[in-house]
Amino acid sequence: MAVAMESSNRIAVVTGGGSGIGRASARKLAALGFDIAVLDIDPVRANTVAEEVLASGRRACGLIVDVAVEDSVRTTFDAVRSRLGPISVLVSSAGIADFTTMDRMTAATFDRMIAVHLRGTFLCCRESFTDMAQQRFGRIVNIASVAGINGGGGPGLSHYAAAKAGIIGFTKALSFEGGPLGITVNAIAPGLIDTPLTRGAGAPDSLYDAIVARLPLRRIGQPEDIAGAVAYLVSDDASWVTGQVLSPNGGGSV
């Protein structure tokens, strides 16, 4: 497997790469020698992180995408291929979050959550799969959530938990197709991570403080805690790992 890694292009696409877990993953993979396509719906964020990667000595490009929109994903992945080359690693981290209880949940709110997370993961995996199959090598890491396993632990996350549970099922199913092609497909289900998404979701700081107080490891996660798990899953050390859900969560869910 070490041979496969060395002979494959070390080109990684990170969706949602402009912030939080995606940004930390892009920086980590760049430090490990990958060239990085930073994809985000926010072009300023995407370009800023691409500049950070370039400054570290790797090739990079920042590109705008809405992962929920088929044409946008197709066009953007074509741009990645022409700018960097065929894709060997995908980290699917683009995401949104809000707390919406059932009495306020519109169909549009529910649909957008599913579209960004589940449809977006599907579209980006499909685009990457072709390149990876041709190379007989690929690493897909889909960012799910503990909410996809335990429902989120409180009210207002039914749409988010449904989307994340869908990503877990999708990841497991796709691993059966990827394996014979040399493609591993895994998910990471983070616990609470300190990112703009968490801080902007509308929950009071006191809720986060209460969660952290119950964690065996007694601290909120940092984006780098998840980037480390991403690095493991794309490494040769994980060449026999597929269809799995790795959940760095401070011990909050065991």
The answer to whether 208 is a known catalytic residue is no
List 140, 160, 166, 189, catalytic entry: 160
Alpha carbon 85 to chain centroid, angstroms: 21
* Secondary element (H or E) of residue 36: strand 35-40
- Residue placing its CB nearer to ligand NAD in the complex, 47 or 145: 145
Candidates 94, 125, 162, 227: give the one binding ligand NAD (CB under 6 A): 94
Residue entry with tokens 């957008």: 112
Q: From the CB of 48, what's the least distance to ligand NAD, in Å? A: 10
- Residue placing its CB nearer to ligand NAD in the complex, 180 or 216: 216
Strands 245-246, 183-188: pairing is parallel
- Residue placing its CB nearer to ligand NAD in the complex, 35 or 225: 225
What number of helices (H) and strands (E) belong to the chain? 11, 7
Candidates 65, 140, 161, 183: give the one binding ligand NAD (CB under 6 A): 65
Judged by CB under 6 A, the stretch of 52-60, 61-69, 131-139, 205-213 that binds ligand NAD is 61-69
Strands 11-15, 35-40: pairing is parallel
C-alpha to C-alpha distance for 60 and 141, rounded to whole angstroms: 19
Candidates 10, 20, 29, 132: give the one binding ligand NAD (CB under 6 A): 20
**Surface-to-core class of residue 234, CB atoms within 10 Å of its CB (0-12 exposed, 13-18 middle, 19+ buried):** buried
State the binding string over 111-150 for ligand NAD (x if CB under 6 A, else -).
-----x--------------------------x-x-----
Q: Nearest CA to 170 among 131, 144, 132, 137?
A: 144
* Residue 11 contacts residue 89 (beta carbons within 8 Å): yes
- Tell whether residue 67 is a contact of ligand NAD (CB under 6 A): yes
Which amino acids are annotated catalytic?
160
Which residues contribute to the site for ligand NAD (CB under 6 A)?
15-16, 18-22, 40-42, 45, 65-68, 93-97, 116, 143, 145, 190, 192-193, 195-198
